[in-house]
Structure 1
Amino acid sequence: MLSVQPVSEAGFAAMAEEWRMCLEASDANPLFMSWPWLYSWWETWSQVLGMELVLLGVFDQRGELVGIGPFCRRVLVTPGGVRVARLYMIGNAWRLAPTVRTEYCAIIARRGSEQAVTAALVPALEQLKWDEMISTDVPVDQLESLKVGRFYDQRGYRMIHRTEDVGIRINTTGRFDDWLAGLGKNTRLKAYNRRSYLKKQGELDFLDHEEGRDGDFFGRLNAFHMNRWGKPAFDREALRFHRLLLQRLHLCEGEPAMSLILYNEHCVSVLYDVVVRGCRYNLQAGYEEDFDPKVSLGYLHLGHAIEAAFSDGATSAYDLLAGNGKNQFYKSHFHGEAVHFSTFQVVRSPLLKALYRIQAASPLFMARGLSRRVGL
């Protein structure tokens, strides 16, 4: 038999090792569902967003942690005066405020105990006070554990699918040359062959970032983004989050993989990756936009990072994650496996169910007007 117990904020702060052991024994994502990522998110945004912790630990008869329900709650009043108690997964604030994006969201459960952990969490969640529950960026292989609406069919709960997104994950256990040969001609040119062109024109160096030698990495990253997008990659809260994450990354057996491209001793590109348990994740990048019309620095830097992942015998995948580029879904060009994510909500408030039903049945212009007035 399993028991579900709420975890306090003090308990959350002190459970890094217990969380690590539970996560390692599960199939949940080792970075995004890790204690360093989720606790750093909570420490950064919980007070800013007015969140209440609803962290549920699932324990076996010996008192060992076998599952984690990483939730939080926010009560808000929409512009139309509708009071909504919304349950979120820690790591995202859907339609509330921009934060860093937490992908691969899931309930954490030890292998072999997935159904038992979910079965224990469902009645615990049902006893909580909430009108709707938001699940964001859930990978398709974890959907069943989070589609709690299927347990509530007899109660008339409503499930609304909001968005679908795609990421790309590259298997790096083979030979880099084979992967490179499988790329399209134009992608291979941009990701690798342009090295020769640049080396003929000047001095090209790919370097791991060193704080003492290279200065503030995030300062460079933000400067590149200001020039390209008109805003920094990371605002004040996001900078705090990433600095906290890097300090704690070793607690999930991770390490940073931040790199630079120097051309004629001038930094023209930065890449922010982290490596956790055999997977290298591409979190952010920035580069000099008007560098050379024949060279795509973003592709070139990714090509080098992917080659490094192939060369590292301990790394089995390079994850480009979800999200589109400025003009196209460039990640699909990198010959990787598509990872599908879903964002959906489970609604149990009769008023909200009625409003969403009206919204879904209305013409587009009326549905948009309802969304603006009511704030759905």
Structure 2
Amino acid sequence: MVLAAYQDTACVGLALLAQRKAPSSTGFKIKQLWLHRSGEQAADQVWIEHNDFLVQRDNKAQIRLAMFEYLYEQKTMWQELYFGLAESSVINTLTAKSAFYREVISSPDFEVDLLNKNHLDDYLADLSKNTRSQIRRTKKILSQSGNLVLALAESDSQKKQFLDDIAQLHKEKWRNTEFGSGFDNPIFERFHHQLIFEEKETNKTRIYCLMLDKKPMAYIYILIHENTWYFYLSAMKSHSDNRVKVGLLAHAYIIQQAIFEGATKYSFLAGEARYKRSLSNQPEANQQLICFYQPTLFMRTREYIRSAKSVLKNLLRH
């Protein structure tokens, strides 16, 4: 369903909400609303972050709160309302309005501030001595074997080649994990294919490849919005020398390009990873997925049982 907010006759806020009935261990089905998500793993594997109501810049906090309060009052439409992943600052304004919620996911979020950076060295100066050393050592070792070049896929044929290579490497790394590789998921593949092969005027994607003597070393898929570059995913070739940190060097090359093009922020998005922490020059932020629930006896009992199970699992784990 669509939720719209108006100021007089002007639309100032929009949201798409998916309704579903989710099975529960009690046998009852739970009425759910998901913001810009379906609630189904396969459809949601594209993964939405900074997931908020779509609101105009002016008075966005006021509009967001009005939309949430209206939605919260529609008691017959939902028993659970899922909001996020969104910045903690956004989540906190909503949870202040209700005591009946649980945190589903909490994930660190890392960024690079590129404001007033005129050269890569300006950015590297913000990093630890160890990280700078790893980047420079990797470049030195690889450069002894050939010529390092950062290539951008520009033609459709090159984009297809890069995307095919990424898919193969991604499957090799992630296929046997809990959620698997998105490139084994037709929904995920179709979504990104449509995004990557959009018309040039509206296309906000880039696929870069760090090459050593024209041989691919690392691929990085970027989304661009205004002055921010968002790192979506990468695919790396392994290297026999453990001193070589291909991922660090690839990100450094792309950040250098972002600086050259006037970007003011490079976002690693959510997800705990050592390289993100090492390459960030900003304090760690956080994104959360929150589930609000109706304070009925059934739902409160269900949440109590869920919480008790979680505590018991932690005790058994230790």
Normalising by the smaller structure, the TM-score range is: 0.7 to 0.9
**In the TM superposition, what whole-angstrom CA distance separates every residue of 1:264-303 from its partner, at most 9, and x where no partner exists?**
3222211101211110010010011235433121111111
Describe the SS at the equivalent of 2:73: helix
Specify the alignment match of 1:243 in structure 2: 193
2:7 is the counterpart of 1:57: no
Q: Tell me the distance in 2 between the aligned counterparts of 1:86 and 1:213.
A: 42
Specify the alignment match of 1:321 in structure 2: 269
Equivalent residues in 2 for 1:181-220, closer than 5 Å: 181-210=125-154, 211-213=156-158, 215-220=160-165
Task: Give the drift of 1:64.
Answer: 1.7
2:205 pairs, out of 256, 267, 281, with 256
Q: Tell me the distance in 2 between the aligned counterparts of 1:96 and 1:242.
A: 14
Instruction: After the TM superposition, list the runs of 4 or more consecutive aligned residues in structure 1 that deviate by more than 6 angstroms.
Output: 94-97, 366-369
Describe the SS at the equivalent of 2:164: helix
Q: Tell me the distance in 2 between the aligned counterparts of 1:223 and 1:249.
A: 25
2:300 is the counterpart of 1:353: yes
Larger relative contact order, structure 1 or 2 (CA cutoff 8 Å, min sep 6): 2
Equivalent residues in 2 for 1:53-202, closer than 5 Å: 54-61=1-8, 63-91=9-37, 93=39, 99-110=45-56, 111-112=58-59, 114-116=61-63, 118-127=65-74, 128-147=76-95, 150=97, 158-175=100-117, 176-202=120-146
When the two chains are superposed, the root-mean-square deviation of aligned CA atoms in Å is 2.9
Task: Give the drift of 1:246.
Answer: 3.0
| Contact map agreement 2:150 2:208 (CA 8 A) in 1 | yes
Q: Tell me the distance in 2 between the aligned counterparts of 1:135 and 1:309.
A: 31
The amino acid that maps onto 1:166 is: P
2:168 is the counterpart of 1:223: yes
The amino acid that maps onto 1:173 is: L
Task: Give the drift of 1:131.
Answer: 0.6
| Contact map agreement 1:209 1:258 (CA 8 A) in 2 | yes
The amino acid that maps onto 2:84 is: T
TM-score, length of structure 2 as denominator length: 0.84
Task: Give the drift of 1:185.
Answer: 2.7
Describe the SS at the equivalent of 1:267: strand
Specify the alignment match of 2:251 in structure 1: 302
Q: Tell me the distance in 2 between the aligned counterparts of 1:274 and 1:341.
A: 18
Distance 1:116 1:106, change over 3 A: closer
Aligned length: 304
| Contact map agreement 1:92 1:102 (CA 8 A) in 2 | no
Q: Tell me the distance in 1 between the aligned counterparts of 2:309 and 2:159.
A: 56
**In the TM superposition, what whole-angstrom CA distance separates every residue of 1:134-188 from its partner, at most 9, and x where no partner exists?**
12311022124543x71xx5xxx62222332111111112233122122223321
Q: Tell me the distance in 1 between the aligned counterparts of 2:105 and 2:64.
A: 27
| Contact map agreement 1:191 1:304 (CA 8 A) in 2 | no
Q: Tell me the distance in 2 between the aligned counterparts of 1:249 and 1:214.
A: 13
Specify the alignment match of 1:8 in structure 2: none
Distance 1:360 1:228, change over 3 A: closer
| Contact map agreement 2:46 2:182 (CA 8 A) in 1 | no
Distance 1:225 1:295, change over 3 A: same
Distance 1:233 1:186, change over 3 A: farther
| Contact map agreement 1:106 1:146 (CA 8 A) in 2 | no
Q: Which has the higher helix share?
A: 1
Describe the SS at the equivalent of 1:243: helix
2:228 pairs, out of 273, 279, 285, with 279
Note the residue ranges of structure 2 that are not aligned, 5 or more in a row.
Answer: none
Q: Tell me the distance in 2 between the aligned counterparts of 1:120 and 1:225.
A: 39
The amino acid that maps onto 2:302 is: L
| Contact map agreement 1:359 1:367 (CA 8 A) in 2 | no
2:283 is the counterpart of 1:335: no
- Alignment identity in percent? 18
The amino acid that maps onto 1:184 is: S
The amino acid that maps onto 2:191 is: F
| Contact map agreement 2:18 2:38 (CA 8 A) in 1 | no
Task: Give the drift of 1:339.
Answer: 2.3
Describe the SS at the equivalent of 1:271: strand
**In the TM superposition, what whole-angstrom CA distance separates every residue of 1:201-236 from its partner, at most 9, and x where no partner exists?**
223221111343464222111111233334545232
The amino acid that maps onto 1:102 is: I
Q: Tell me the distance in 2 between the aligned counterparts of 1:232 and 1:95.
A: 12
Distance 1:132 1:213, change over 3 A: closer
